[in-house]
Amino acid sequence: MKPMQPSPYWGDEKLWDTRANNHNSMFDKQGRVWLAASVRGRDNPAFCKKGSDHPSAKVFPLEQSSRQVAVLEPKTMKYTFVDTCFGTHHPQFGYDADNTLWLSGTGPVAGWVNTRVFDESHDAAKAQGWTALIRDANGNGKRDEYVEPNAPLDPAKDKRIVPGSGPYAVMPHPKDGSIWYTVGVFGGTPAFLRFDPKTQLSEVYNVPLPYFGIRGGDIDKNGVVWASASSGHLVSFDRRKCKGPLNGPKATGEHCPEGWAGYQYPGPGFRGLGENSAESSYYTWVDQHNTLGLGENIPMSTANLNDGFVALKDGSMIMLRIPYPLGFYAKGFDGRIDDPKAGWKGRGLWSTSGDRTPWLMEGGKGSKPRAVHIQLRPHPLAD
């Protein structure tokens, strides 16, 4: 594809020419890096499709996937491709004995890779599974035959869910084994979706007004899910607060408004929308292990219009602005404790300033993303 017109800096040179598109990565317990990477065309192998004897394909065959899985062993630099039938976007490991890798970007299904089985067999087909997202519409607590999304309810059957543009963020629950997603990011109704691997049933909880929109999210140690909302809020949902039935014909997404809470991001807002902020946060992450120093279970968001991050502690927003003369734009971040005995110096957040097109950022020709280490002094003069 030829550029529409020459760039003032780069002329006709094509810079965004990648083929193996890795979106996100995650370390496992062995120090290997698992990547959501596309390294083949969209057409799926035969074991994914109709007529295959793969257990998941028998129930819900998949014809295409836009991104798959790969794993890198840093010590040997061995790169292994794990061909998945479902698409991938964000990877997160569960808390089970199989070290199951759960993926978002999976479209109409929940998709996973059993890494224990893959390590033992090196068989990608055997190690992976997926299933359609089914709501327990008849409320009997088990998965039954289901009707399609556009079909009317059948009192004897369940109902398949197509959550808009599909799962975006993926969040394994640290206690009950369920998997949570943000859904409806690029189309459809913004919501949190809960998938139970044991029953293979799903629940959906739509974002209520005055909040709207949803993007990246995470889960805390108590199972409360958090996300960045387009309305300029950090929103949370606590399923334990729900008063009515969580399943059945009326559990269509609007059935637990009492589970929601919202906290306005710093900064000015738009006229006519009530209390809001124009802050367009991309992703939210929960510091479960006090890697920064504000405490455990602290939700934090990228503050993309405030050149930094924002944390919620005791009901108040704490702005973490990056003091650099150029703008700062983060798509994600994580925490790491290098020395638990070294106080604030032994812990901190890590992030990058950059996006898919860093050559369009401040800094001129050749500008590249910057790795940033964020540490929190207990007071300004702390040594």
Confidence of residue 360 (pLDDT cuts 50, 70, 90): low
| 141 has a pLDDT exceeding 70 | yes
E strands of 217-259, at which residues? 217-219, 225-229, 233-237
Please give the structure tokens belonging to residue 279. Answer: 């802050």
Nearest residue to 261 (alpha-carbon basis) of 322, 202, 207: 207
Instruction: Give residue 357's pLDDT band: very low, low, confident or very high (50, 70, 90).
Output: low
Is it the case that residue 269 has pLDDT exceeding 90? Answer: yes
Which architecture characterizes domain 21-299 according to CATH?
Answer: 6 Propeller (2.120)
Q: What backbone phi and psi angles, to 5 degrees, belong to 343?
A: 65, -145
Sequence-separated (6 or more) residues with CB below 8 Å from residue 155: 138, 249
Model confidence at 312, pLDDT cuts 50, 70, 90, reads very high
Confidence check: pLDDT of 109 > 90: yes
Q: Is 369 exposed, middle or buried (0-12, 13-18, 19+ CB in 10 A)?
A: middle
Q: Does residue 326 have a pLDDT over 80?
A: no
Average pLDDT, integer, range 225-235: 97
**Mean pLDDT value across the chain:** 94
Burial 59-91 (b: 16+ CB within 10 A, else e): ebbbeebebbbbbbeeeeeeeeebbbbbbbbbb
Q: What is the pTM for the complete model shown?
A: 0.95
Please check whether residue 374 is in contact with residue 348, taking contact to mean a CB–CB distance below 8 angstroms: yes
Is pLDDT larger for residue 154 or for residue 322?
A: 154
Give pLDDT, residue 1: 67
